[in-house]
Amino acid sequence: MDGIIIIDKPSGPTSAEIVRRVKSRLGKRARVGHLGTLDPFATGVLPVLIGEGTKLAPFLQEGEKEYQGLIALGVETDTLDRTGGVVRTAPLPALNADRLAELAAQFTGEIEQTPPIFSAIKREGTPLYRLARRGGEVEPPPPRRVRIVRLELGVADASTLCFSVLCSPGMYVRSLARDIGVALGSAAHLAELRRVRSGSFTIAQAQPLDRVIAAMEAGTDPGLIGLRQAILDAPEVEVDAATERRLRHGDSRALDGLAPPGAKLFKVIARGELAAIANTTSRVTATIARIFGDGAAL
């Protein structure tokens, strides 16, 4: 089995646990991974890469992410979400449409953001969340530049905001919740989070985890997206058997003259299947970025 399954991650298990559950149905030798970690309490789009699909990760992980959720006001937690311990409280702010529109504009575009202490960012090889759980004071990671393409804020009730955000990879929604609380002169933490898009994959394509597992156990299609269909925004070039053989021997010169003008990447199709992904260096030449399959049928 080679490709991608879009799972609607339930609240509770970690993203790594979802991978383990899928892998257990495929066997110990199966290669399985995921794109874009979701916190355990979060739900939504989790692309799971299987077999040769794991080779697609470098070409998919930079896609924009879209989230929806709730921000609880008046309380900040150490994890910046509902699972953490309270570290600060503050009066609830006055909320109105004009103030929220100003706030959304303030956080739209390129912004500087300090990631949470409870994160997978490593310090001297150890994830910060492990250091934080040991107790004691942990220095926050340095601020980083992130991009928010669109942010919409609304009032759910007197102590809760609802939101929708489209952002660059690497943006922490938990940090955004904290910073919104500070900007309102209050405190805040992330109460609910659902990812509705990751790159080109949407919640409409996502399958519930139990349905995916049941399909795999029954030997039926679990909603697998094939390698060729997984990258939609790259042009395709079809090659003959002789060119495919050269590519599988690492000869990038086989791509001379095949690079589509203006494309950063393109898919090389052989015998109807994805044989390789290439990086375009000019309108004439390209280099092999990744080869798929073993070419046993050649």
Q: Which residues are catalytic?
A: 39
Residues paired with residue 208 on neighbouring β-strands, in sequence order = 8
Structure tokens at 133: 């759980």
Q: Is 184 exposed, middle or buried (0-12, 13-18, 19+ CB in 10 A)?
A: buried
Beta-carbon count within 10 A of 115 CB? 21
Structure tokens at 271: 């015998």
Q: What is the distance between the alpha carbons of residues 273 and 86, in angstroms, rounded to a whole number?
A: 53
